[in-house]
Amino acid sequence: MERIEYDGATGVLEVMVRGELYRFTGVPIETYEQLMHASSREEFFEREIHHSFPYEHVAQTLPADL
């Protein structure tokens, strides 16, 4: 996971995995805190978040120079 961002007010968790951004909704603060303190964030993410909360793939944009 290259990036993890969480908005406690909305329960939205954004995770970048292998260059792809995913936005999960309805994630409780406790789940986010467990993710951040997990010995393996990747394993916790797969086990507790990836298939447990609704999500959308967020389209990535490339810099115009590429």
Res 64 pLDDT > 70: no
Res 37 pLDDT > 80: yes
Question: How many beta carbons lie within 10 A of that of residue 38, not counting itself?
Answer: 14
User: Range of 30's domain?
Assistant: 3-58
Res 22 pLDDT > 60: yes
Q: H or E segment at 22?
A: strand 20-24
- pLDDT at position 18: 85
Give the number of residues written for the chain: 66
Phi/psi of residue 5, each to 5°? -135, 145
Beta strands 3-7 and 12-17, pairing class: antiparallel
Q: H or E segment at 13?
A: strand 12-17
The domain tally of the chain equals 1
Q: Where does the pLDDT of residue 66 fall: very low under 50, low under 70, confident under 90, or very high at 90 and above? A: very low
Please name the residue that has the structure tokens 């993710």. 35
